[in-house]
Amino acid sequence: MSHLLQSTFIPTTPTTLRRCSVFPTTHLRKTHVVESKIREIFMPALSSTMTEGKIVSWVKSEGDKLAKGESVVVVESDKADMDVESFYDGYLANIIVPEGSSASVGSTIALLAESEDEISLAKSKTLTTVSSSSQETPPATVTEEVSPVVSPVAAAVSLSSDAVKIASAIHPASEGGKRVVASPYAKKLAKELGLDLRGVVGSGPNGRIVAKDVEAAAAAASDGAAPIGVAAAALKPSGSAPAAPVVDLGTTVPFTTMQNAVSRNMVESLAVPTFRVGYTITTNALDSLYKKIKSKGVTMTALLAKATALALAKHPVVNSSCRGGKSFTYNSSINIAVAVAIDGGLITPVLQDADKVDLYSLSRKWKELVDKARAKQLQPHEYTTGTFTLSNLGMFGVDRFDAILPPGTGAIMAVGASLPTLVGSKDGRIGVKNQMQVNVTADHRVIYGADLASFLQTLAQIIEDPKDLTL
């Protein structure tokens, strides 16, 4: 590589700057580093003006042996792509900044372990550093003790035998799930998205995992899952309460990709000024309608979505969304997103044009979406295009709750269970009626109290006299 550096490849750069070896300098607290023999590889400064570098590619992969002077990584500067070489022998333990990402000059882009045994130590060290995102790196010895717990790599491996069976058992050549069969692009995408292919169900020829499966799985794990309130939401399609999950008590578990996305969206939602308006709706008429048409495959979810969509059609402002904070958009279609709990999270399949599509088609569509969601095969347009969200916890007996507004939409409605309630009527009589409470959370920048109130009034009218729903 030395010839490259001495060449006239960048005629305008002074020779001194062209000499670009990484300086995997020892860590600040030298004593620990010497003990653990883990060095950090920093983003080099390839020119005097460079503040940030983009990793074009990692020449070496994690676990590869490195000799002093060997190129490790290709960094893009303003003039050309430069190969960057290692100053030390060792093993590339952990790549912190992946290909295609940028890092500022001097920041750690990878860790170098002196021996193979220390690779896992280095990995766990990164995790600790990253998850606590503090300057305090625990002493190496301590890290080593806790590493089996904090290392998701180890955990994933031990779980793999179970996961694999579900994943690729359909593939004839997967030998009972011992192998993952994925197309080149699917593999590439999974690597970019940090997705474990063993958990992905393939829809390609012979059950092979193709790019869209990876995209669907990744989306299911992030965006689509994120919008709904943490405590709220979730319609368990099966309707049964989940079995108590088996967890190791007292452990700290790093966020999965999906949990990270949820976390990010929840924090983002705090930037939106929201308020809530509740309403109690009598559902006797709706319940009897449901009983009549249930045999035709109509579901309660479809009924509720249809009713909501019809109400929204009369109150376009509730179906609007405000993104920049300076203007808002009256959405052209009414797409009702409905939260569904799936293994390890939740997703919001979207019933598009719910005001226009007839109830029976809507019910069929819903069934299809739920099946796809369970198979993690929803396409992005099937879970990201919602303009209004429904979240129903009624099947758990919840009578009322509060949902967090998904960023990018105007309102979300939390639906409780419909319960027989003792009701006094205007003429002084007392009776039992089925009533459910709904609670709408909305973005007050665009939707005001009166808007929600009149929307809910319309909705109540539709539900209490549901003949329009079947039109």
Partner 1 sequence: MHSSSISLCVPPPNSSLLNKSHKKCLDKLSFAPLNSQLCGLRNEVLRFSFTRFKRCEQHRVRKFVRNNVVSGLVAENGNAPTLFDYDLVIIGAGVGGHGAALHAVEKGLKTAIIEGDVIGGTCVNRGCVPSKALLAVSGRMRELKNEHHLKALGLQVSAAGYDRQAVADHANNLASKIRNNLTNSLKALGVDILTGVGTIMGTQRVKYGKVGFPDIEVTTRDIIIATGSVPFVPRGIEVDGKTVITSDHALKLEFVPEWIAIVGSGYIGLEFSDVYTALGSEVTFIEALDQLMPGFDPEISKLAQRVLVNPRKIDYHTGVFATKITPAKDGRPVVIELTDAKTKEVKDTLEVDAALIATGRAPFTEGLGLENINVLTQRGFIPVDERMRVIDADGNLVPHLYCIGDANGKMMLAHAASAQGISVVEQVSGRDHVLNHLSVPAACFTHPEISMVGLTEPQARERAEKEGFEISIAKTSFKANTKALAENEGEGLAKLIYRPDNGEILGVHIIGMHAADLIHEASNAIALGTSIQDIKFAVHAHPTLSEVLDELFKSAKVIKLEG
Part in contact with partner 1 (CB under 8 A); list of ranges 167-175, 244-252, 263-271, 345-353:
167-175
Interacting stretch for partner 1, rule CB under 8 A, among 8-16, 106-114, 129-137, 307-315?
8-16
Is the Cβ of residue 187 or residue 264 nearer to partner 1 in the bound state?
187
Q: Binding residue for partner 1 (CB under 8 A) from 80, 156, 253, 270? A: 80
8, 49, 133, 135: residue in contact with partner 1 (rule CB under 8 A): 8
Among 20, 74, 67, smallest CA distance to 44 is for: 20
Tell whether residue 173 is a contact of partner 1 (CB under 8 A): yes
Of 79-87, 156-164, 230-238, 310-318, the segment contacting partner 1 by CB under 8 A is 79-87
Q: Judge whether 389 and 227 are in contact, CB under 8 Å.
A: yes
Min dist CB 18 to partner 1, Å, is 12
Task: Tell the smallest beta-carbon distance from residue 291 to partner 1 (Å).
Answer: 46
Candidate list 52, 64, 81, 468; residue touching partner 1; CB under 8 A? 81
Stretch that binds partner 1, among 207-215, 266-274, 430-438, 445-453 (CB under 8 A): 207-215
Kindly state whether residue 3 participates in binding partner 1, applying the rule CB under 8 A.
yes
> DSSP label at 388?
E
Distance between alpha carbon 209 and the CA centroid of its chain, in Å? 20
The answer to whether the beta carbons of residues 372 and 382 sit under 8 Å apart is: yes
Q: Which is nearer to partner 1, 97 or 440 (CB)?
A: 97
Find the shortest distance in angstroms from Cβ 173 to partner 1: 5
Stated as kind and residue range, the H or E segment containing 48 is none
Identified binder of partner 1 from the candidate list 68, 188, 294, 381, rule CB under 8 A: 188
Looking at the Cβ atoms of 9 and 87, the one nearer to partner 1 is 9
Alpha-carbon Rg for the chain in angstroms = 28
Beta-ladder partners of 41: 110
Neighbours of 369 (CB within 10 A): 22
Residues in the interface with partner 1 (CB under 8 A) total 31
Nearest distance in Å: CB 80, partner 1: 5
| Helix/strand/coil for 226 | coil
Count of C-beta atoms within a 10 Å radius of residue 188: 13
In which residue are the tokens 């653990």 written?
36
Alpha-carbon distance 384 to 216, whole Å? 11
Among 17, 50, 74, 153, binds partner 1 (CB under 8 A): 74
The residue from 105, 146, 210, 375 that contacts partner 1 (CB under 8 A) is: 210
CA 94, 97, 101: angle at the middle one, nearest 5? 155
Binding status of residue 379 toward partner 1 by CB under 8 A: no
Say whether residue 170 binds partner 1 (CB under 8 A): no
CB atoms within 10 A of CB 421: 15
- Distance in Å, CB of 10 to partner 1, minimum: 8
Query: Looking at 32, 171, 315, 444, which residue is catalytic?
Result: 444
**Under rule CB under 8 A, residue 11 binds partner 1:** yes
Quickly count: other Cβ atoms within 10 Å of residue 216's Cβ.
25
Pairwise CA distance, residues 426 & 185, whole Å: 66
Alpha carbons 207 and 56: distance in angstroms, whole number: 33
* Nearest in space to 118 (alpha carbons), one of 34, 36, 33: 36
Residue 342: CB minimum distance to partner 1, A: 28
Decide whether 15 or 115 has the Cβ nearer to partner 1: 15
Q: What is the CB neighbour count within 10 angstroms for residue 107?
A: 14
CB 341 within 8 A of CB 374: no
Query: Does residue 315 carry a catalytic annotation?
Result: no
- Under the binding rule (CB under 8 A), the answer on residue 291 touching partner 1 is no
> Considering beta carbons, is residue 187 or 445 the nearer one to partner 1?
187
Distance CA 217, CA 344 (A): 12
DSSP 8-state symbol, 199: G
Beta bridge partners of 120: none
Report the residue number, 9 or 23, with the smaller CB distance to partner 1: 9
Enzyme catalytic residues: 444
Where do contacts with partner 1 occur on this chain (CB under 8 A)?
3-4, 7-11, 56-57, 74, 79-81, 99, 171-173, 179, 181, 183-188, 204-206, 208, 210-211
